[in-house]
């Protein structure tokens, strides 16, 4: 095989044993890494209805086909398991350096089963594997643990993937980090690692990706060409110049900056947190992921000193800032640092705190419940205190560590209305009332609310926009209004979802390929064919993406999810309170009709939302039909 070692490391923590499996090329062509490989393994190796925090849950960490290639943004890997937050298919991607290092160490994926009798970490070096004691690391924040592992193994270049105290304490939205700055934040997969007593996976490798490629010269030439283009393309240059924090001001100006738990779309104190202030008061440097010329990562200072954890991205600024009505940028940066030190998902953390703030303001939580915390919107100090309480499961934090849906069920009254989630996962910082296909993505996503399901509506609403022109090879030729839910929008969503799913299979970041960014779809095809000898077309690649999405859908159907779970928070069907979109609601009737159209395009049954046997067979998933019938 070209482009991959084909090797999967299988670790049984209960017995402290491991073995190496080599995948066949025929198998790998159907499931070439990432989301596809993870979905296949979960469906075939884990029975339905397993407690996500039980030893029987299977944790899969899978590189994409191109992860580690010398091409900008080809850095991503997938972590997957049954989610303790949603109880459905769990998945989260991250970039950085850890995935490429795993490839260099000789493995495409790691499958972890069972539970260790005491804390351990996994050490992988050039095909060698060792389980090492980690009791001395348990309970520590992420930065000292990374330093301790590197010192213990005598190599500062070791890449460390790890959970933090939040994962150890089984917080249902605990995440996983690598190199302290790159995060598998969503779906509570850090709690799955914590339930297995697996604190970290350290890797070191020496095999170069080029040695695996069919045509290494063509691959490196493409990589050099793309790197030179970054500054010439406004889509990629904007990401390099301001990074995602640059989204704060334009989203606020358009009325789509989630504020006060999604009640509003404009934050009146936006001037205190916009990019110019971030650049002046926080920024110390720009960083990159492996071999990536985009360099969208920000380094910052917190409390007057360089932070070990990198700077807050847009999602963190939005969830811990405007959505909690907090305008103190230093406090937002500190909140982000705390989340990364304890390893909490910043989106779910900020959203769960904003939920608690609204409950407090409506009298559903009292000072007695909060331990004396004045939990009104805008109280930055209370937010910081609550982050630590959630990570440690202390006081009110123990309840909120369950996520907003479970907390709301326990609090009762109006609380469920204030819990802004889909399938149990809190919404990211993008307003569906201004971008309706984003709402479709939230609703239909197998992992719960997720903003990386398809390209956002505003990218494709203007025929002169570069993103729209980039989408033409996908058959997208008619711009549509951002707030439309017509049949053409559903057709566009169906195609764009396949693109994003493909990225999660082959390892590209959302900030690389078109239409979001600067790598043209033809160049995506070119990169895959330079690596493999499969001679694939764009249609072939899109089918790979669709196959992965259907695997995840079958998993959820097996766990009891139906069309009724593809919905949106009730708040979104009501009007925004301020800004250019004041009075605008998400159209409830059009939403239901649009879902039916989309199900038809996807080959899913309109009443149940389940993939039909015919569609599964067309995607080479005949074996999954029996799972649905059962």
Per-domain residue ranges of the chain: 7-212, 244-413, 436-629
Q: What is the mean pLDDT of residues 265-272?
A: 98
How much is the pLDDT for 109? 98
The three-class DSSP label of residue 477 is: coil
Tell me: pLDDT of 438 over 90.
yes
63-96: pLDDT as tens digits:
999 999 999 999 999 999 999 999 999 999 999 9
205: Cβ contacts below 8 Å, ≥ 6 apart: 101, 102, 103, 104, 105, 106, 124, 125, 126
Q: Cα separation of 233 and 470, whole Å? A: 12
How much is the pLDDT for 511? 96
Tell me: pLDDT of 441 over 90.
yes
Tell me: pLDDT of 219 over 90.
yes
Q: What is the mean pLDDT of residues 222-248?
A: 95
Provide the pLDDT confidence category of residue 301 given band limits of 50, 70 and 90.
Answer: very high
How much is the pLDDT for 154? 98
Q: What is the mean pLDDT of residues 277-295?
A: 96
How much is the pLDDT for 628? 85
Q: What is the mean pLDDT of residues 350-363?
A: 98
Q: What is the mean pLDDT of residues 549-578?
A: 98
Give the residue among 33, 37, 30, 27 at the shortest CA–CA distance from 3. 33
580-599: pLDDT as tens digits:
999 999 999 999 999 999 99
Q: Cα separation of 184 and 570, whole Å? A: 28
Tell me: pLDDT of 451 over 90.
yes
Tokens of 110: 């790691």
How does DSSP assign 24-50, residue by residue? -HHHHHHS-BHHHHHHHHHHHHS-TT-
How much is the pLDDT for 487? 98
How much is the pLDDT for 365? 98
**Mean of pLDDT over the chain:** 97
227 HSE (CA, 13 A, CB side): 17
Element (H, E) at 79: strand 77-82
How does DSSP assign 121-168, residue by residue? EEEEETTEEEEEE-TTTTT--HHHHHHHHHHHHT-TT-EEEE--HHHH
362-393: pLDDT as tens digits:
999 999 999 999 999 999 999 999 999 999 99
Q: What is the mean pLDDT of residues 604-611?
A: 95
Tell me: pLDDT of 210 over 90.
no
CATH architecture of 436-629: Orthogonal Bundle (1.10)
Please provide the size of the chain in residues: 630
Provide the pLDDT confidence category of residue 129 given band limits of 50, 70 and 90.
Answer: very high
**What is the CATH code for 244-413?**
1.10.569.10
302-332: pLDDT as tens digits:
999 999 999 999 999 999 999 999 999 999 9
How much is the pLDDT for 153? 98
Beta strands in 207-330 (DSSP E): 283-287, 297-302, 305-306
- Hey, CA dihedral for 132, 137, 139, 141, is it positive or negative? negative
Tell me: pLDDT of 1 over 90.
no
Q: What is the mean pLDDT of residues 531-539?
A: 97
C-beta neighbour count of 190 within 10 angstroms:
34
C-beta neighbour count of 227 within 10 angstroms:
16
Q: What is the mean pLDDT of residues 102-113?
A: 97
- Hey, CA dihedral for 315, 32, 617, 43, is it positive or negative? negative
User: Can you name the CATH fold of 7-212?
Assistant: Aldehyde Ferredoxin Oxidoreductase;  A, domain 1 (3.60.9)
Q: Cα separation of 259 and 333, whole Å? A: 18
Return the percentage of the chain with pLDDT > 70, whole number.
100
How much is the pLDDT for 67? 97
């Amino acid at each position: 095989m070209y482009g991959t070692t084909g090797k999967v490391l299988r670790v049984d923590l209960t017995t402290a044993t491991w073995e190496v499996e080599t995948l066949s090329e025929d198998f790998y062509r159907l499931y070439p890494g990432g989301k596809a490989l993870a979905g296949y393994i979960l469906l075939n190796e884990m029975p339905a209805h397993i407690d996500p925090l039980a030893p029987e849950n299977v944790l899969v960490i899978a590189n994409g086909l191109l992860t580690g290639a010398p091409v900008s943004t080809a850095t991503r890997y997938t972590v997957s398991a049954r989610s303790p937050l949603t109880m459905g298919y769990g998945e989260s991607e991250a970039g950085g350096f850890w995935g490429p290092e795993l490839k260099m160490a000789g493995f495409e994926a790691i499958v972890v089963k069972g539970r260790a009798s005491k804390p351990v970490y996994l050490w992988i070096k050039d095909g060698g594997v060792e389980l090492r004691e980690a009791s001395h690391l348990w309970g520590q924040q992420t930065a000292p643990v990374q330093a301790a592992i590197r010192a213990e193994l005598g190599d500062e270049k070791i890449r460390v993937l790890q959970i933090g105290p939040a994962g150890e304490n089984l917080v249902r939205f605990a995440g996983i980090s690598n190199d302290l700055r790159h995060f598998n934040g969503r779906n509570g997969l850090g709690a799955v690692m914590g339930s297995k007593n697996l604190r970290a996976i350290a890797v070191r490798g020496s095999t170069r990706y080029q040695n695996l490629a069919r045509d290494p010269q063509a691959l490196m030439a493409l990589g050099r060409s793309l790197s030179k283009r970054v500054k010439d393309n406004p889509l990629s240059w904007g990401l390099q110049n301001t990074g995602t924090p640059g989204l704060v001001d334009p989203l606020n100006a358009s009325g789509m900056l989630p504020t006060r738990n999604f009640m509003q779309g404009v934050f009146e104190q936006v001037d205190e947190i916009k990019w110019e202030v971030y650049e002046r008061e926080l920024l110390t440097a720009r960083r990159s992921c492996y071999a990536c010329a985009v360099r969208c990562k920000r380094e910052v200072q917190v409390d007057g000193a360089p932070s070990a954890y990198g700077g807050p991205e847009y999602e963190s600024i939005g969830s811990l800032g405007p959505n909690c009505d907090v305008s103190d940028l230093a406090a937002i940066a500190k909140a982000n640092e705390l989340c990364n030190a304890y390893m909490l998902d910043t989106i779910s953390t900020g959203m769960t705190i904003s939920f608690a703030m609204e409950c407090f303001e409506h009298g559903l939580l009292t000072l007695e419940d909060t331990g004396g915390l004045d939990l009104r919107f805008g109280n930055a100090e209370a937010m910081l205190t609550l982050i630590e309480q959630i990570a440690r499961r202390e006081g009110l934090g123990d309840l909120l560590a369950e996520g907003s849906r479970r907390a709301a069920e326990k609090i009762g009254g109006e609380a469920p209305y204030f819990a802004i989630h889909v399938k149990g996962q809190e919404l990211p910082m993008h307003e569906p009332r201004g971008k309706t296909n984003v709402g479709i993505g939230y609703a239909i996503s197998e992992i719960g609310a997720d903003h990386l399901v398809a390209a956002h509506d505003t990218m494709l609403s203007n025929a002169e926009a570069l993103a729209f022109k980039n989408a033409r090879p996908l058959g997208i030729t008619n711009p549509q209004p951002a707030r439309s839910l017509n049949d053409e929008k559903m057709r566009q969503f169906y195609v764009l979802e396949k693109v994003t799913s493909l990225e999660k299979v082959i390892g590209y970041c959302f900030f690389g390929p078109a239409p979001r960014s600067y790598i043209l779809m033809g160049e995506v095809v070119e990169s895959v064919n330079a690596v493999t000898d499969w001679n694939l077309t764009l249609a072939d690649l899109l089918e790979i993406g669709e196959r992965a999405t259907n695997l995840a859908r079958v998993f959820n159907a097996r766990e009891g999810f139906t069309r009724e779970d593809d919905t949106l928070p009730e708040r979104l069907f009501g009007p925004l309170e301020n800004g250019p979109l004041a009075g605008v609601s998400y159209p409830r009737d059009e939403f239901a009709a649009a879902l039916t159209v989309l199900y038809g395009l996807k080959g899913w049954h309109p009443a149940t939302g389940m993939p039909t046997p015919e569609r599964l067979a067309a995607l080479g998933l005949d074996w999954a039909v029996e799972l649905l019938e059962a």
